Chains A and B, each alone.
Chain A
Amino acid sequence: DTEVTQTPKHLVMGMTNKKSLKCEQHMGHRAMYWYKQKAKKPPELMFVYSYEKLSINESVPSRFSPECPNSSLLNLHLHALQPEDSALYLCASSQEGRLAGGPGTDTQYFGPGTRLTVL
């Protein structure tokens, strides 16, 4: 099973709202990722959790706040977003391992995404 699930599928929010995006995987993967994807562009990495350790892309605004309650769940909390934050938000996971590489452990599996519209 290589399934990553994301909820909701669509989200419309105002600039003063607070909302959260959720991602879940049950493949025993130890790394999870949030990406932002604008139309006709490649995904841009926002955050990575690996073995519960967070790595941050320093260009991501503080109005995006990730949370990893456990190794299977990943949330993205949204607050005071701007219209330019409207995009497809993708979650991904990979197995990883204590040793660098390892067959297949590096491959990222993606969820279907949440289409976010900020009014």
Chain B
Amino acid sequence: AQTVTQSQPEMSVQEAETVTLSCTYDTSESDYYLFWYKQPPSRQMILVIRQEAYKQQNATENRFSVNFQKAAKSFSLKISDSQLGDAAMYFCAYRSVNLNNYGQNFVFGPGTRLSVLP
């Protein structure tokens, strides 16, 4: 079964600075998808960024970018020009391409709580 690890339970960043959140995963599959989701205190889970494993190019979405290292099974999230609204719990998630085993094909990491200091 796939596992996702986030080794930083909490992090903080100064407003306008850059922060990187770490994520590693374990899988025997060669093709899969990786996600970063954000969950503010208001509790709605919001997609931040998505990466397809067969693409070498790192995904970017405005101030958010990833460093995807497939061989190392690492998927870190970089937030540039941090804003107060970025404060939230960030979850790294793994999704299998296999559609036939839904019970195990979407796995979340334990989360990193990010605080943004004014």
Contact = CB atoms under 8 A, between A and B. Distances in A.
Which secondary structure dominates chain A's binding surface? loop
Contacts of B110: 41-42
A10 to B, nearest CB: 11
A55 B102 contact: yes
A100 B102 CA distance: 13
Interface string A68-79: 000000000000
A43 B42 CA distance: 15
Given A112-B43, A113-B44, A55 B103 contact: yes
Contacts, number: 62
B35 interface: yes
B9 to A, nearest CB: 9
B64 interface: no
A88 to B, nearest CB: 6
The bracket for how many chain B residues form the interface is: 20 to 34
Contacts of B84: none
Given A42-B91, A42-B110, A110 B103 contact: no
A111 B46 CA distance: 9
Contacts of B103: 45, 48, 55-58
A45 B97 CA distance: 17
Contact of B102 (A42, A43, A48, A110): A48
B35 A107 contact: yes
Contact of A50 (B42, B46, B52, B102): B102
B44 A112 contact: yes
Given A48-B102, A96-B99, A42 B47 contact: no
Given A42-B111, A106-B95, 9 more contacts: A41-B111, A42-B109, A43-B108, A48-B102, A90-B45, A100-B97, A101-B33, A110-B44, A112-B44
Interface of A: 31, 33, 40-43, 45, 48, 50, 55-58, 88, 90, 92, 96, 100-101, 103-104, 106-113, 115
11 contacts: A42-B111, A48-B103, A50-B99, A55-B103, A57-B103, A90-B45, A100-B98, A106-B33, A107-B47, A110-B45, A111-B44
- Please list the 4 inter-chain residue pairs (A to B) with the smallest Cβ-Cβ separation, ordered nearest first: A42-B108, A110-B45, A48-B102, A55-B102
